[in-house]
Structure 1
Amino acid sequence: MDQSTASLASAIGGRVRHERQARRLTLDQLSDLAGVSRRMLVNVEQGAANPSVGTLLRLSDALGVGLPALVEPPEAAPLKVTRSGEGAALWTGDAGGRGVLVAGTQPPDVLELWDWTLGVGDAHASEAHVAGTHELLQVHHGSVTVTVGDQKATLNAGDAIGFAGDVDHGYANAGTEPARFSLTVFEPGVGTSPKSNKTSKAAANDA
């Protein structure tokens, strides 16, 4: 990992550990709730891993905090400015693409704003998010093919699409030049799902 990636991994690890301990959960309990191996969870908390977006989503859902909470300081602020280059790069592609989380809100209804680039040939597949999740995407440069379930749509610069994020989906660049797009993800009821309720029960049972 380069220095910026290592710094982000360390910050994420500290937040995961803080949220887990605040809920009095053991590593095994959170591993079970999130469907993430104990080894991966340990590596994440130690900042020794560069976890996938899918892994971070599973951990944030299990903790009931939402993905933005894992990459931002815990203190709430009425005005949160993310300067150019300061977003959390949570995905990198083989052809140089990046998925950068630039802004987000707190639970229970979490809104995420992403700045994505896809190099030629880059593709990102995403697991289904929690029920009721919706995504909005607009292409700024190049072309992006969006797959939602068994449907596909190719968007060019200026085109936009809205779709349900609670089914498997993905974004790919099959064009001849790099592509860039903005993505907004709305995830409702974070921390109120049965999985999050299990988190509280697990902590109570361990008390």
Structure 2
Amino acid sequence: MDTGITQDELWIGGMIRARRQKLELTLQEVSEAAGISTGYLSLIERDKATPALTTLSRIAAALGVGIDAFVGKPQPADCITRADTRPQFLLGASKVRYERLGAVFPGSELSCFILTIEPGYSSEQTGHAGEETFYVLSGRLDFTLDGQVMELQAGDSAHYDSTRAHGWANPHDEVAQVLWTGTLDLFGDRAGGSEQRAE
């Protein structure tokens, strides 16, 4: 599928490695600070694995930066996002595309994205503070919650406590699109964002 995003924008792993090396930190030091295995961090740095946004935020915190250091911090001008100018980014080589829908204003607590998930994608299982809800716009998605796998299709939705272990996979032969909303402050836009990134 043509995502409309150039190959140069895919290699977040290289930016993570460059930042780690600049700080003269070992893989083990960063992985321990981020709460992931050294082998998994190595895969991420080589763009062989795609971290969940939660994991990417913990890696960024371990490297002393915000997630925006790797994906570019979107700056919505107001409460409206336009389909043809909406901020987008990709993680790793799996080509999961994120389109940011949310704006930032005093007291805001939600992050909101449209995710385009290509066939063959499988996320890690993760848990973090907060809550999430998502709605399947098109395609099918296998959603895992506390070890139970549930197949969702267009029109299905889920709402759950994010501390529960959860993850997604698209083992099907069609692209899936998901509207996701959660309380995790990925970009540190809101008050207390730095604390959330460090969880």
TM-score scaled to structure 1, two decimals?
0.59
The structure in which a higher percent of residues are helix is: 1
Residue 148 of structure 1, aligned match among 137, 141, 145: 145
1:27 counterpart SS class = coil
Paired positions, count: 176
Change (3 A) 1:173 1:78: closer
1:169 alignment counterpart: 166
Moved more, 171-180 or 8-17: 8-17
| Displacement after TM superposition at 1:68 (Å) | 4.7
Query: Which residue identity does 1:101 align to in structure 2?
Result: Y
Change (3 A) 1:31 1:14: closer
1:113 alignment counterpart: 113
Residue 79 of structure 1, aligned match among 77, 80, 83: 77
Contact 1:110 1:190 in 2 (8 A): no
2:7 counterpart SS class = helix
| Displacement after TM superposition at 1:148 (Å) | 0.6
Change (3 A) 1:78 1:88: closer
Matches within 5 A, 1:1-207: 4-9=6-11, 13=15, 17=19, 26-28=24-26, 29-34=29-34, 35=36, 37=38, 44=45, 49=47, 52-54=50-52, 56-63=56-63, 67-68=67-68, 70-73=70-73, 77=75, 79=77, 83=84, 87-91=88-92, 93=94, 98-103=95-100, 111-119=111-119, 122-130=120-128, 132-173=129-170, 177-187=174-184, 189-192=192-195, 196=198
Question: Identity over the aligned pairs, expressed in percent?
Answer: 21
Give, in whole Å, the separation in 2 of the partners of 1:138 and 1:39: 29
Contact 2:115 2:180 in 1 (8 A): yes
Give, in whole Å, the separation in 2 of the partners of 1:49 and 1:118: 16
Give, in whole Å, the separation in 1 of the partners of 2:172 and 2:33: 39
| Displacement after TM superposition at 1:9 (Å) | 2.1
1:162 counterpart SS class = strand
Unpaired segments ≥5 residues, structure 1: 198-207
Give, in whole Å, the separation in 1 of the partners of 2:113 and 2:65: 16
Unpaired segments ≥5 residues, structure 2: 186-191
Change (3 A) 1:175 1:4: closer
| Displacement after TM superposition at 1:110 (Å) | 7.0
TM-score scaled to structure 2, two decimals?
0.60
Alignment RMSD (CA, Å):
4.4
Change (3 A) 1:191 1:173: same
Contact 2:118 2:174 in 1 (8 A): no
| Displacement after TM superposition at 1:142 (Å) | 2.4
